[in-house]
Amino acid sequence: MGILEEMAVFFDPEDLIAEFEAMTRDAERVQKETLKRILEENGGTEYLKKWGLLGKTDQESFKACIPLVTHEDLEPYINRIVDGDDSPILTGKPITTISLSSGTTRGMPKFVPFNDELMESTMQIYKTSYSFRNREFPVGNGKCLQFIYGSRQFKTKGGLAAGTATTNVYRNPLFKKTMKAMQTPCCSPDEVIFGPDFHQSLYCHLLCGLILREEVQVISSTFAHSIVHAFRTFEQFWEELCTDIREGVLSSRISVPSIRTAMSKLLKPNPELADLIYKKCQGLSNWYGLIPELFPNTRYIYGIMTGSMEPYLTKLRHYAGVLPLLSADYGSSEGWIGANVNPKLPPESATFAVLPNIGYFEFIPLHQTLDGLEAKPVGLTEVKVGEDYEVVVTSFAGLYRYRLGDVVKVKGFHNSTPELQFICRRNLLLTINIDKNTEKDLQLAVEAASQVLAENMLEVVDFTSRVDSSTEPGHYVIFWEMSGDASDDILEQCCNCLDKSFLDAGYVSSRKVKAIGALELRIVKRGTFHKILDHYVGLGAAVSQFKTPRCVGPSNTRVLQILCNNVVKSYFSTAF
Ligand code: AMP
């Protein structure tokens, strides 16, 4: 990298904070200008012309002309881009890269446009939260053990590069330079990050971290699930990892030649290190505090820990011991939204300050109007503290008034930009008749029921759900993978507790009059959720972006099949 390029990414965290403060003090004006820039750059597109915007760039005309849309509405346009039509369809400049969003909710990845502007805003978000984090938790020149994985990249029919958003980011040279500017480059070589088999990559990430154990200052991943997954894997393979370090020879389990070559440059026989790690592992009780034992100079653990990642926090805290958990920013393949500028808050109360210059944001209030209609969206600076909203994004990458489908709560303001708490995906997870239960409701029910397990030193490794309408009446089915065996008695208690913990009035009343049948708890074999992860990875999803689907719809036949084929026991609630 030339010195000029290096200087271009170098930044002073205090300057960055000053810019952020200035921008958020003036959020309303910045939003107006951001919309103007987006519409100036893209005014000539087929999409904006179709809606008769006629080159106007003000908020009022924009809202009057352009409808609120979902991904489905934009699919015909996106598909043409994917198929190689490079006329200005959604963006003035042609889109050359496509992101595959995780699509865990509907079982299939969906395509969204990716471009340089998205890459830049990603780095802006990373740098902003880093600057605030660095004030409270400074890191020196060290390394970051990053459990990140590039997914398969391929060319679309129309010749565009397609990969998951995280892969598009990791592959971009700006990413590496920014990580370097943040003083914590990744421990692992590219061959490991972009290896074709994530099991092998994960093994080598662990090995690289162990070799550089003294230098590791941060442990991170995009979503916290990957960190928990990594250390669960460590529990399985630690002895083999020690052998590799002792002998300086990579396990034969690693078969990808490029990974073997890259790792052979790092791996030298080191019996002292192997003995040390071995002893540390043997000295731990049930792996509590594993991370600081292995990596003594770690300052914190970093990754998205909110929303569907919350269920992994107990396990993560167990591995982390005394180390702080710092929740990462809020965004999506469609674009970034907010940075965590209060890194000291525990993940359960983490908030995200919206960056007013990376997109134009609107918020649909979740409460209905008096006539029962959906309320009109409000602007970024018009939201009210304590209220819940669905996020609507207008981006530099061709999305206009796009409903992201996420529900957020406004917790406060940072200057004049709101600080959002992520609540859940808007689509209902579980509903049979008048009952309405979201991902969050399911999570709370599982949390309550797993208390019963905790008393017995057991935990829920992962979970999901479905509505079974093949019975009359229909009922909820909850699938659990557990860390060990529990007695029938305990599981019956858990099942009743789950049923009682859905507090939604529609559910409770329907259960009472038997309009919804008894909740069913199905226990699946160990490793079932790994199979689900493998299935999504096979579809082109990235491990880095993986979120366990918390509800499996009837169209998601393969995942349903995996679950149903692995059920070992099932229980029906007797709570009502
Ligand atoms: P993807 O489309 O795979 O990029 O996933 C994006 C989705 O992940 C968002 O729409 C959110 O539902 C979820 N997500 C992203 N960041 C966070 C966060 N910080 N907290 C909770 N959920 C998040």
> Tens digit of pLDDT per residue, the chain (576 long)?
444 455 456 789 999 999 999 999 999 999 999 999 999 999 999 999 999 999 999 999 999 999 999 999 999 999 999 999 999 999 999 998 999 886 655 556 789 999 999 999 999 999 999 999 999 999 988 999 999 988 777 888 899 988 888 888 888 888 888 877 887 889 999 999 999 898 999 999 999 999 999 999 999 999 999 999 999 999 999 999 999 999 999 999 999 999 999 999 999 999 999 999 999 999 998 999 999 999 999 999 999 999 989 999 999 999 999 999 999 999 998 999 999 999 999 999 999 999 999 999 999 999 766 677 888 999 999 999 999 999 999 999 999 999 999 999 999 999 999 999 999 888 878 999 889 898 889 999 999 999 999 888 899 999 999 999 999 999 999 999 999 999 999 999 999 999 999 998 889 999 998 989 999 999 999 999 999 999 988 877 778 788 899 999 888 889 999 999 999 999 999 999
Q: Which two tokens stand for residue 517?
A: 């049948």
Q: What is the Å distance from ligand 1's center to 261 Cα?
A: 35
- Cα angle vertex 32, ends 87, 93, to 5°? 15
Q: Does residue 545's CB lie within 6 angstroms of at least one atom of ligand 1?
A: yes
Q: Does residue 422's CB lie within 6 angstroms of at least one atom of ligand 1?
A: yes
CB 332 within 8 Å of CB 404: yes
In the beta sheet, which residues pair with residue 570? 522
CB 405 within 8 Å of CB 380: no
Q: Which two tokens stand for residue 118?
A: 């998205």
Task: Please report, as a single letter, which amino acid is at residue 389.
Answer: Y
Helix residue spans in 88-197 (DSSP H): 116-136, 165-171, 173-181, 190-193
Instruction: Give the Cα separation of 419 and 411 in Å (integer).
Output: 6
164-184 per-residue burial string, b: 16 or more CB within 10 A, e: under 16: bbbbbbbbbebbbbbbebbbb
Q: Does residue 42's CB lie within 6 angstroms of at least one atom of ligand 1?
A: no
36-67 pLDDT, tens per residue?
A: 999 999 999 999 999 999 999 999 999 999 99
CB 498 within 8 Å of CB 444: no
Handedness of CA 559, 564, 569, 575 (dihedral sign): positive
Instruction: Give the Cα separation of 326 and 351 in Å (integer).
Output: 11
**What is the pLDDT, as a whole number, of residue 104?**
56
Place of tokens 């893209």: 42
Strands 325-327 and 330-332: unpaired
Average pLDDT, the chain: 92
Nearest CA to ligand 1 atom 18: 330
**What is the pLDDT, as a whole number, of residue 131?**
95
Which of the listed residues 111, 547, 548, 550 should we mutate to test ligand 1's pocket, taking the one with most ligand atoms within 8 A of CB?
547
Q: What is the Å distance from ligand 1's center to 327 Cα?
A: 13
Nearest CA to ligand 1 atom 2: 101
